[in-house]
């Protein structure tokens, strides 16, 4: 089923620049995740994502999005399972590493294979093992909706935050 699209009332371009839009979006503080999976050959793939959100409690659904140009798009688009690890406050270096292009993201990273093979980052504040339930193309991204099959959290863990283009171990006042 395709998402319902309403016609835009006008064909005028936006009244703002892309940098202004990006800066405005940066005012929304988010948690930081690593979304991970194995590709068709069993190789590890993963990336830093702050576009994570809950969708539904019943059934348990979450979403995240990925740029069409991402090198890992094929693995996530065709794969059946992936994991989402919400990073803890002391995992900023992992967030930065998994956001870099061309980096050996998995070198020395401690992880545990989930029930369906998707890697769960050790020490994360929370983890979700998801079935790749649906995908929607919108703009320059694909939105992934995952049905959560397993989840866990580390009691007392503080999450890593991202706000205004910077990482924080606690929210800036």
- Residue 158 falls inside a structural domain: yes
pLDDT at 28: 85
Question: What's the full length of the chain, in residues?
Answer: 173
Residue 31's Cβ-count burial label (10 Å; 0-12, 13-18, 19+) is middle
Q: Which residues contact 130 (CB under 8 A, 6 or more apart)?
A: 62, 81, 82, 83, 84, 118, 146, 147, 148, 149
Ordered mean pLDDT values, 10 residues apiece, the chain (173 residues): 68 84 86 96 95 95 96 94 97 96 92 97 98 95 97 94 88 56
pLDDT at 3: 65
pLDDT at 172: 57
pLDDT at 173: 53
- Residue 17 falls inside a structural domain: no
User: pTM for this structure?
Assistant: 0.90
- CA–CA separation, 135 and 156 (whole Å): 33
Domain count, the chain: 1
Give the tokens for residue 142. Answer: 């694909």
Domain hosting 116: range is 30-168
- Strand, helix or coil at 3? coil
Q: Which residues contact 170 (CB under 8 A, 6 or more apart)?
A: 89, 158, 161
- Residue 2 falls inside a structural domain: no
- CA–CA separation, 160 and 144 (whole Å): 22
Q: What is the CATH number of the domain that holds 83?
A: 2.30.110.10
């Amino acid at each position: 089923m395709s998402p319902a699209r309403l016609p835009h009332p006008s064909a005028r371009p936006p009244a703002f620049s892309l940098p202004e839009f990006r800066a405005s979006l940066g005012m929304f503080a988010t948690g930081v995740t690593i979304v991970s999976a194995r590709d068709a050959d069993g190789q590890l793939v993963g990336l830093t994502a702050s576009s994570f959100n809950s969708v539904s409690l019943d059934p348990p659904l979450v979403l995240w999005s990925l740029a069409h140009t991402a090198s890992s798009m094929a693995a996530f688009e065709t794969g059946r399972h992936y994991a989402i690890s919400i990073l803890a406050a002391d995992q900023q270096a992992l967030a930065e590493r998994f956001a870099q292009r061309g980096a050996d993201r998995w070198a020395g990273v401690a992880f545990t294979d989930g029930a369906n093979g998707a890697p769960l980052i050790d020490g994360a504040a929370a983890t979700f093992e998801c079935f790749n339930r649906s995908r929607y193309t919108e703009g320059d991204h694909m939105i992934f909706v995952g049905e959560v099959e397993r989840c866990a959290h580390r009691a007392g863990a503080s999450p890593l935050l991202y706000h205004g283009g910077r990482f924080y171990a606690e929210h800036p006042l």
